[in-house]
Chains A and B, each alone.
Chain A
Amino acid sequence: MFNIIRASLFKLIKDWTFRITMMVGIGLAALLIGINAGIGQLNGQTMFLSSVSPSQNFGLTVPINLVVFTVSEFTCGTIRNKVIAGHTKFKIYAGLFLTGLVFTMSLMIVYLGVIVGLSSAIGGFDANAIGGGTFIGCYIVYFLTSYIFVTALSVFFGALLRNIGGSISISVVSLVLLGMIPLIITLAIGKEFNAANVQMWINPLYMLGLYANSSSIINFLHNVGADTSAFYMQNAQMIIAGILTPLLWSTILFISGAFIFTRRDLK
């Protein structure tokens, strides 16, 4: 298992797609900072909330590149070599997932670091404007668990379809829908955004999506006269849902992905 992950990480570091995506991420971060500074709305806390959405901006490039990385193992036939080398198919699938996780987290953490670091340095970071340290801690946890889900989903479809076009389409559409549902629901339901409680136990990207779209939602709540300060308050139920729901879906995707992978032929 360790050997598979070591090999995959070596391939990842040498992979041009990964390097280019990393550079694109840094470039995009600089561009967004420039645009926001240009319109006089640059601050660290807003950039922190809005830049990690898996259904917008740089977040969307993660499943695309992860699918390309996963499918390339099948198209080059290198996954076949690993089976021939005596690794079990379960370990190979686990290796794909864990390498994917490194891929996802390194891209997002670098992007987040650049965008939050630079925007905070220029426009400042007001933690109290977004509910203080408790909310920031919760939001980082939602970010981590949600991107574990993004990785599990992308690897699942990449290994299932073994086709770049199809896997990207289905992964991106799923993530856009899941990420946008919190916004749609909140806008549809109106003041009582907590009425969407059921959603947070079903939708793995609900908690992250809710706050990643916070500027739209806050504006809406403000316009309908709701108490916007309550928006960032986190109760135990929300925190548990923000951790459990994405992890549960990730586990389901990982187990079913590994199950299908071990029972299918390799070309």
Chain B
Amino acid sequence: MEKYVIETKGLTKKYGDKLAVNNVDMHVPQGSVYGFVGENGSGKTTIMRLLMGLAIPTKGQYALFGVDSKDRKIHEVRKHISAIVETPSLVPSLSAYDNLKYACLYYGISNYKEVIPEALKNVGLEDTGNKAAKHLSLGMRQRLGIAVLLLNKPTLMLLDEPMNGLDPSGVAELRDLIIHLNKQGISFIVSSHILSELEKIATHYGFISHGKILKEISASDLALECQKYTDLKHNEPGKLKEALVALGYKEIKEFPNSVRIYDDVKPLELLKALEKKGIEVSDVKTSEMNVEDYYLNLIGGEKNV
């Protein structure tokens, strides 16, 4: 049976009359990179805040590493979890080094003199340790925030839009860091609007809209669902479908002005075969769905991810 680092049951959060999180059942497998996908205001950040104990659920419950949120041991469990929710929490007037020292002190890390230079090096900030956090660029602050997270050697990290404000090389570095840490056994929940980047790291996905989880799926199952397809345009799709069945195609879907084939298609050969049957198609297009298309299909086409 699959082990979950996070499991929620009917998790609900209301702000006044507004339902921000609606009866969410979520499952984050151990060792996974769980890509959290949803439009702005869909409830991703609120769920992360609930899981981190920053917000109190209106209803429902959650378990972290199998420990129920109402159990007193939950505070012990949290010591092995790190999170950046919205923006990295840093003291602007303190230097990068002192921000890390401050975090070491509340984490109870006594050997901070050895830990801090290592942490700065890990995120490429070894030369900027004395610079005040307020003078660092957004990307550098993001990296310093991650250095803070890594101090307590977490086994689960929650990253809310970690790629925001990073330049392309910063995004690539962060992606590599997540992959590297995941290989070391750290589980992740990563929410991001840069779905092309998420596709490169996620092993599982949770799709959310209007506070509800629409679907949870593994990356391998998603790849199957996003398989390649070929659209053929024709004003008599019924006739075209019959011809395709006669040609041996099995996975076919009829639309008002087109037919979609999910089987492997060699377009030129197919066109010749259809011509022989007296059918001329006006357009042939081979496509593959990506995570964004999949999400848009789930929510019904609204493009606001």
Genuine A/B complex: yes
* Chain A residues with CB below 8 A from B93, complex form: 14-16
Q: Check B89–A85 contact: CB distance below 8 A.
A: no
The CB with the most chain B CB atoms within 10 A, among A15, A72, A76, is that of A76
Is A173 interfacial (CB-CB < 8 Å)? no
Pick the contact of A10: B49, B56, B75, B105 (CB < 8 A). B105
Per the CB 8 Å criterion, the residue count for chain B at the interface is 33
| CB contact between B105 and one of A7, A76, A88 (< 8 Å): that residue | A7
Across the interface, which residues of B come within 8 angstroms of A82, CB to CB? 106
- Report the Cα distance A248→B79, complex, angstroms: 35
- CA gap between A37 and B89 in the complex, in Å: 49
Binary flags per residue of A83-100, CB closer than 8 Å to B gives 1, else 0: 111111000000000000
- Decide: B89 and A78 in contact? CB cutoff 8 A: yes
Q: Which of A77, A86, A265 has the most CB of B within 10 A?
A: A86
Q: How far is the CB of A96 from chain B (nearest CB, A)?
A: 12
What separation, in Å, do the CA atoms of A77 and B101 have in the docked complex? 16
User: Inside 8 A of A81's CB, which chain B residues have their CB?
Assistant: 89, 103, 106, 148
Known A11-B91, A80-B89, A81-B89: A86·B75 in contact at CB below 8 Å: yes
Point out the residues of chain A lying under 8 angstroms from B229, CB to CB: none
Q: Does B87 contact A (CB under 8 A)?
A: yes
Q: Are A84 and B54 in contact (CB under 8 A)?
A: yes
Q: Does B198 contact A (CB under 8 A)?
A: no
Q: Quick one: which of A6, A15, A84, A265 contacts B55, CB cutoff 8 A?
A: A265
For B102, list chain A residues within 8 Å (CB).
Answer: 7, 10-11, 78
Interface majority SS on A: helix, strand, loop or mixed?
Answer: helix
Q: Which residues of A contact B21 (CB under 8 A)?
A: none
Whether B78 sits at the interface, judged by CB under 8 Å, is yes
Contact of A86 among B79, B85, B91, B101 (CB under 8 A): B79
B103 proximity list for chain A (CB < 8 A): 7, 81, 85
Q: Which of these, A3, A15, A77, contacts B106 with CB under 8 Å?
A: A3
A263 lies within 8 A of B89 (CB): no
Residue B82 at the A interface, CB < 8 A?
A: yes
- Interface presence of A64 (CB below 8 A): no
List residues of chain A with CB within 8 A of the CB of B92: 76
User: What are the residues of chain A within 8 A of B108 when measuring CB–CB?
Assistant: 3
CB closest chain-A residue, reference B74: A86
Asked, given contacts A80-B89, A86-B78, whether A3 binds B152 with beta carbons under 8 Å apart, the answer is: no
Instruction: Knowing A3-B108, A7-B102, A265-B55 are in contact, say whether A85-B78 is a contact too (CB < 8 A).
Output: yes
**Is the CB–CB distance between B105 and A3 below 8 Å?**
yes
Shortest Cβ distance from A82 into B: residue: B106
Residues of A within 8 A of B49 (CB): 265-266
Contact A76 B78 (CB under 8 A): no
Distance from A22 Cβ to chain B, minimum over Cβ atoms (Å): 16
B240 at the interface (CB under 8 A from A): no
Say whether A87 contacts B106, CB under 8 Å. yes
Which residue on B lies nearest to A95, using beta carbons?
Answer: B106
Q: Is B146 an interface residue (CB 8 A)?
A: no
- Name B152's closest neighbour in chain A (CB-CB): A85
**A226 CB within 8 Å of chain B:** no
A178 adjacent to chain B (CB < 8 Å): no
Contacts of B25 in A (CB 8 A): none
| A166 CA to B258 CA, complexed, in Å | 64
* B56 with A263: CB separation less than 8 A: yes
> Are B53 and A85 neighbours in the complex by a CB distance under 8 Å?
no
Set of chain B residues within 8 Å of A7, measured between Cβ atoms = 102-103, 105-106
- Chain A residues with CB under 8 A of B90: 76-78
Does A4 have its Cβ within 8 Å of any Cβ on chain B? yes
CB closest chain-A residue, reference B55 = A265
What is the CA–CA distance of A265 and B55 in the complex, to the nearest angstrom? Answer: 4
Contact of A83 with B52 at beta-carbon distance under 8 Å, contacts A11-B94, A16-B93, A76-B92 already known: yes
7 contacts between A and B (CB under 8 A): A3-B107, A6-B106, A80-B54, A84-B53, A84-B54, A265-B54, A267-B54
- Give the interface of A toward B (CB within 8 A): 3-4, 6-7, 10-11, 14-16, 72, 76-78, 80-88, 263, 265-267
Binding site for A on B (CB under 8 A): 49, 52-56, 75-79, 81-83, 85, 87-94, 98, 101-103, 105-108, 148, 152
